[in-house]
Amino acid sequence: MNKLESLKSLYKPYRYTIKGSCTILETTSGNFVVKKKPKNKDLPSIFNYLKSRNFDYFPNIYGDSRDDAYVYEYVEDEDVINPQKSEDLINLVGLLHSKTSFNKEVSEETYKAIYEDIKNNILYLKDYYLRYYELFIKEIYMSPSKYQFVRNYSKIISALNFSENELDNWYSLVSSKKNERISLIHNNLSLDHYIRSDKDYLISWDKAKFDTPVLDLVKLYQNNFWELEFSTIFQKYLGVASLSEHEQKLFFVLISLVPEIKFTDNEFECCKEMRKQLDYIYKTEAFLAPYYSSNTTDE
Output the 3-class SS for the chain.
Answer: CCHHHHHHHHHCCCEEEEECCEEEEEECCEEEEEEECCCCCCHHHHHHHHHHCCCCCCCCECCCCCCCEEEEECCCCCCCCHHHHHHHHHHHHHHHHHHHCEEEECCHHHHHHHHHHHHHHHHHHHHHHHHHHHHHCCCCCCCHHHHHHHHCHHHHHHHHHHHHHHHHHHHHHHCCCCEEEEEEECCCCCHHHEEECCCEEECCCCCCEEECCHHHHHHHHHHHCCCCCHHHHHHHHHHHCCCCHHHHHHHHHHHCCCCCCCCCCCHHHHHHHHHHHHHHHHHHHHHHHHHHCCCCCCC
CATH class of 99-292: alpha beta
299 compared with 165, residue with greater pLDDT: 165
Residues 94-116, mean pLDDT to the nearest whole number: 94
Q: What is the mean pLDDT of residues 30-37?
A: 86
Is the pLDDT reported for residue 2 higher than 60? Answer: no
More confident: 7 or 85: 85
Q: What is the mean pLDDT of residues 92-113?
A: 94
Question: Is residue 251 scored above 70 in pLDDT?
Answer: yes
**Is the separation of the CB atoms in 195 and 203 below 8 Å?**
yes
The residue extents of the domains of the chain are 13-74, 99-292
Alpha-carbon distance values, 221 to 100, 129, 144, 216, 258 (Å): 21, 23, 28, 9, 13
User: Which amino acid does the sequence have at 9?
Assistant: S
Q: What are phi and psi of 210, to 5 degrees?
A: -90, 120
Confidence (pLDDT) at 63: 67
Q: How confident is the model at residue 10 (pLDDT cuts 50, 70, 90)?
A: low
Size of the chain in residues = 299
- Tell me how crowded residue 136 is: count the other CB atoms within 10 A of its CB: 17
Average pLDDT over residues 153-169: 96
pLDDT of residue 114: 96
Lowest mean pLDDT among 4-8, 34-38, 77-81, 198-202: 4-8
Which is nearest to 288 in space by CA: 299, 277, 275, 272? 299
In 3D space, the residue among 181, 163, 177, 297 whose CA is nearest the CA of residue 247 turns out to be 181
Among 86-90, 176-180, 224-228, 246-250, which is the least confidently predicted range? 224-228
For residue 268, pLDDT over 90 is answered with yes
Q: What is the mean pLDDT of residues 135-150?
A: 94
pLDDT score recorded for residue 299: 43
Mean pLDDT of 246-269: 93
The predicted model scores a pTM of 0.88
pLDDT on residue 58? 95
Question: Residue 63's CB: how many other CB atoms inside 10 A?
Answer: 7
pLDDT value for 188: 94
